[in-house]
């Protein structure tokens, strides 16, 4: 009879542990917020600036080149993603074409898209002139 109580106690502890770990994993997978906005070209200083952002399981490091007060190039230095690598080229192209760090995310790679946009936004903020 004691063995039944012990076994059920172990099962309860295991179930509780699995619930805690599961909720921690889900909390880490929330979609990153989009920080960006259209770029204020009048405030940009030409040069190359690095930015990074981590959101959920994704992280991006980028180098943004500003030329003639506009985003001329974006290099993705690092992008940690499970399946979101398909976001890299379209998001970079959209940011440059729209001169905005708030563009449409790639379907199926929303968090990676947002993390890339936010990393570019952090680089852009370094390019703004001191006013």
In a domain, 12, yes or no: no
Domain count, the chain: 1
> Could you tell me where the DSSP H helices lie in the chain?
2-27, 88-98, 110-127
Is the pLDDT assigned to residue 20 strictly greater than 80?
A: no
CATH no. for residue 120? 3.90.1010.20
With bands split at pLDDT 50, 70 and 90, how would you rate the model's confidence at 10?
Answer: low
In a domain, 68, yes or no: yes
In a domain, 19, yes or no: no
Rounded average pLDDT over 50-76: 97
Quote the distance between the C-alpha of residue 115 and its chain's center.
2
**Which range marks the domain in which residue 85 is found?**
41-127
In a domain, 22, yes or no: no
Is the pLDDT assigned to residue 24 strictly greater than 50?
A: no
């Amino acid at each position: 009879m004691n063995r039944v109580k012990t076994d059920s106690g172990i099962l309860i502890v295991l179930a509780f542990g699995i619930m805690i770990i599961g909720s921690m994993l889900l909390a880490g997978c929330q979609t990153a917020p989009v920080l960006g906005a259209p770029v204020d070209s009048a405030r940009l200083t030409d040069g190359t600036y690095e930015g990074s952002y981590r959101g959920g399981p994704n992280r991006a490091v980028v180098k943004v080149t500003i030329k003639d007060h506009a985003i001329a190039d974006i290099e993705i230095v690092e992008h940690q993603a499970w399946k979101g690598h398909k976001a890299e080229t379209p998001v970079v192209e959209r940011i440059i074409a729209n001169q905005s760090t708030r563009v449409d995310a790639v379907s199926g790679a929303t968090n990676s898209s947002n993390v890339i946009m936010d990393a570019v936004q952090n680089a852009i903020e370094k390019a703004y002139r001191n006013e």
